[in-house]
Amino acid sequence: MAPPAAAAAASPVLLLHRAAKQLWRNRFGSSSFRGQCTASAPQPEPASKGVAAKDELSLQERRRFLREPLPFSAFLTDSFGRRHSYLRISLTEKCNLRCQYCMPEEGVKLTPKSKVLTSEEIVALAGLFVTEGVNKIRLTGGEPLIRPDVVQIVAQLRKLEKLKTIAVTTNGINLARLLPSLKEAGLNLLNVSLDTLVPAKFEFIARRRGTGPQICGITLSLSLPDFDPVTVNCVVMRGLNDNELLDFVKLTEEKPLDVRFIEYMPFDGNKWNFKKLVSYQEMLGTIKQRWPDLERLTSGASDTAKAYRVPDFQGQIGFITSMSEHFCGSCNRLRITADGNLKVCLFGNTEVSLRDLLRSGATEEDILEIIGAAVGRKKQQHAGMFNISQMKNRPMILIGG
C-alpha cells in the first residue's frame, strides 16, 4: 500500500479538500477521530512540497473557501462530482442460506474471525464517514442478523450525530425474533430478500428449506410504523422465478410494501449466464400487460430503483437495473467489507484495507487521505453488462451486496 501522502497526491479533489479542512481548523479548531486508533498514534508526516495543497491552490480558490461554507467532504466526492453520502457495511461473510445468485455451490472460504472488523472498529469507521457527510448506513452480510452483536452495533451507530438512517438488508430468517430489539436500538429502514413465494422453489434457489420465517418477519415489520414501507428484494432469474412477477406485484395491493425486482448480476462462482437475465424492460412489459395503467413515480437523484405503482394499490414496485440500464452517474454508495476493505464500486475488484490502517494506529488524516484517494480513483461507470461477467470479483456474499 502506498504511503498516505503519495496515495493522496493523485486526487485533485483531495487537494481542494485538504485546504478547506485547514481553513476550517483555523476557524474552529481541529476535530478528533471517534475511534480508539488516535490514542497513541503518531502524528502524520507533513505532505511533500510537491503535493502541499494549501500552497498549490490559487488565491482566488482560497478566497472562495473563506466566503463559502465548508462543502460536502471532498474525501467522499469523486472526480465526477458524485457525493458519497451512503455507506454499506458488511457485518459478516457468513449466511444461513446458500442462494444460487449469491455464492458458489461449493461455498466460500471465510475470512478468519481475527481479520473481521470488531464492533468497535465498525463504529469507529462509521463515525469517521458520518463526520465527513455520510447520513445513511446500511448493514449487510452475508446475513447481518446472524452476527451476535448486531443489536449493540445498531445502538452504537444511533449515537452518531447527523446519521439519519440505519438500515439493514436481511434474508429474514431471524428477523421476527430480533426486530423488536433492533427497532428499540434505532433501526429505521428494512429490506428483506424474498425471491419466491413458492416453498419448493425457495428450497431450490436458497439450497435451504422454508419461506415461513421470512413471511413472519415481513408480516411483523408491516405492523410497525417505523418501517413504512418495508422493502422486499427479489432477484429475478429466467426459468426460476420470472413467472412470479405478477404475484409479487399483487402483494402491494393491500400492503405498504415496496417490492424491488433486481436484475440478475454476475459474481464469482454464481454461474451467471446472460440467458438467465430478465431485463427491466421485459419485466415492465410483463407487468403492464396485466396492469396497463401502471404509473411511474418520481425518484430522488440518488435512488437506484425505477419506481412504479398500480393506481389504488397501497404499496409500490421498483426495478434495480444494474445490468441493462446502469445508474453509475448518480451513484452515492461506498462499501466496507466484513474484513474491513473499502470498495468504491460493487463491480470493481480494487479494495483498500481500512482495517489494517486502524490496527496500525493510523490517524484520522491518514485514513481520510487513503479513503479520498480511493474515492478519487472511482471510475465514471462500471465495465458494462457483458464485460463485468468476465471480471474477477469476490462472490456476492463476501462483498455485502
SS3 string, the chain, reads CCCHHHHHCCCHHHHHHHHHHHHHHHHHCCCCCCCCCCCCCCCCCCCCHHHCHHHHCCHHHHHHHHHCCCCCCHHHECCCCCECCEEEEECCCCCCCCCCCCCCCCCCCCCCHHHCCCHHHHHHHHHHHHHCCCCEEEEECCCHHHCCCHHHHHHHHHCCCCCCEEEEEECCCCHHHHHHHHHHHCCCEEEEECCCCCHHHHHHHHCCCCCHHHHHHHHHHHCCHHHCCEEEEEEEECCCCHHHHHHHHHCCCCCCEEEEEEECCCCCCCCCCHHHECCHHHHHHHHHHHCCCCEECCCCCCCCEEEEECCCCCCEEEEECCCCCCCHHHCCEEEECCCCEEECCCCCCCCEEHHHHHHCCCCHHHHHHHHHHHHHCCCCCCCCCCCHHHCCCCCHHHHCC
Range with the lowest mean pLDDT among 141-155, 176-190, 259-273? 259-273
Answer yes or no: is pLDDT of 31 > 50.
no
- The pLDDT assigned to 390 comes to 52
pLDDT exceeds cutoff 80 at 59: no
What is the predicted pLDDT for the residue at 242? 96
CB 264, CB 236: distance < 8 Å? yes
| pLDDT of res. 224 | 85
Q: Comparing 326 with 247, which gets the higher pLDDT?
A: 247
**CB within 8 A of 376, min separation 6: which ones?**
10, 11, 12, 13, 14, 78, 79
Question: What is the average per-residue pLDDT within 107-115?
Answer: 87
Which CATH number is 86-330+384-399's, of 3.20.20.70, 3.30.710.10, 3.40.50.450, 2.40.50.100?
3.20.20.70
> In the predicted model, what is the mean pLDDT of the chain?
80
All cell numbers assigned to 265: 448480476
How many CB atoms lie under 10 A from the CB of residue 294?
17
Q: What residues form DSSP beta bridges with 259? A: 232, 317
Highest mean pLDDT, choosing among 45-49, 117-121, 330-334: 117-121
**pLDDT interval class at 112 (50, 70, 90):** very high
Specify burial of residue 106 (Cβ count, 10 A radius: 0-12, 13-18, 19+): exposed
Whether 208 has a pLDDT exceeding 90, the answer reads no
CB 318 within 8 A of CB 308: yes
On the question of pLDDT at 178 being above 80, the answer is yes
- 342-385 tens-digit pLDDT: 999 877 778 899 999 999 999 989 999 999 999 999 988 754 44
Query: Is a pLDDT exceeding 50 seen at residue 148?
Result: yes
Q: What is the pLDDT of residue 345?
A: 86
Among the residue ranges 59-73, 100-114, 165-179, 351-365, the one predicted with the least confidence is: 59-73
Q: Of residues 3 and 158, which shows the higher confidence score?
A: 158
Q: What is the pLDDT of residues 214-240, one digit of tens each?
A: 889 999 999 887 787 899 999 999 999
Find the mean pLDDT for residues 74-103.
Answer: 89
Between 329 and 276, the more confident residue is 276
Rounded to whole angstroms, how far apart are CA atoms 229 and 315?
8
pLDDT value at residue 197? 93
Q: What is the pLDDT of residues 236-293, one digit of tens each?
A: 999 999 999 999 999 999 999 999 999 887 654 445 567 788 999 999 999 999 999 9
Q: Lowest-pLDDT range, 26-35, 273-282, 323-332?
A: 26-35
pTM of the model: 0.79
Contacts for 5 with CB less than 8 Å, ≥ 6 apart = 45, 47, 48, 51, 369
Q: Is the pLDDT score of 26 beyond 70?
A: no
More confident residue, 60 or 299: 299
pLDDT value for 305 = 87
pLDDT above 50: residue 100: yes
